[in-house]
Amino acid sequence: MQQVTTLIYCLKIGVHYIDVVPVFFTSYDGKRYEDSQYLSVPDMNTGAWIKSTPELHSQLINNAAVERGSNFRRIIKMIKHWNHNHGDVLSSYHIEVLALNYLTGSLNDMPWAILQFLTSMTEALKTRLWHQQGYVDDYLTPAKRAEEVERISKATETARMAWYMGSINNNELAINKWHQFFGAQFPTYG
């Protein structure tokens, strides 16, 4: 018998954000919530309940940040900001799982790391992405997935031009391209 209890679950994300989410602790024995296999969390895109293990996910993000350096979280935050300013199609969780899988290697050169991550995201979005309890991209219809691949492909070209201009020390054009990529909060040259 499965017992479900409703409560508010708070999860610290990064340094500044806290998501407050209604959840169901799902316990297979019906009594002990510490033995829960997962939380049921509402998916705001579909209205369905999805399985989630936020403590494990948070630990994976923390471990990756320790292994890959402080730019790991910064790049995730920047890509989430870009996503928010350009249609807000991808879920934050989806971006984090993509980062766990594809934001690897040296992240010291942030423009290069962002470009490489976007290139990987473009390819990764062409197929479904499994993580922990299920597919993290079930909210994307085939049409939305195709639109998102196209959107990120175009963004990747802007990032590629920004990176290239920076690599040849054309800082004015590089900064203006990054401004075009990230939006009004990214400073302009001069």
CA distances, 81 to each of 18, 112, 168 (Å): 16, 18, 26
CA distances, 130 to each of 20, 28, 117 (Å): 24, 23, 18
6-58 pLDDT per residue, tens: 344 444 444 444 556 676 666 655 444 555 666 666 776 677 776 667 778 88
> Residue 42: which of 17, 15, 9 has the closest Cα?
9
Average pLDDT of the chain, as a whole number: 82
For residue 71, list its beta bridge partners: none
**How far is Cα 15 from Cα 77, in angstroms, rounded to an integer?**
11
More confident residue, 158 or 27: 158
Structure tokens at 65: 């940040």
- For the chain, the domains span 3-52, 57-182
pLDDT for the residue numbered 115:
96
Q: 158: how many CB neighbours lie within 10 A of its CB? A: 17
φ/ψ region of 13 (left if φ > 0, alpha if ψ in -120 to 50, else beta) reads beta
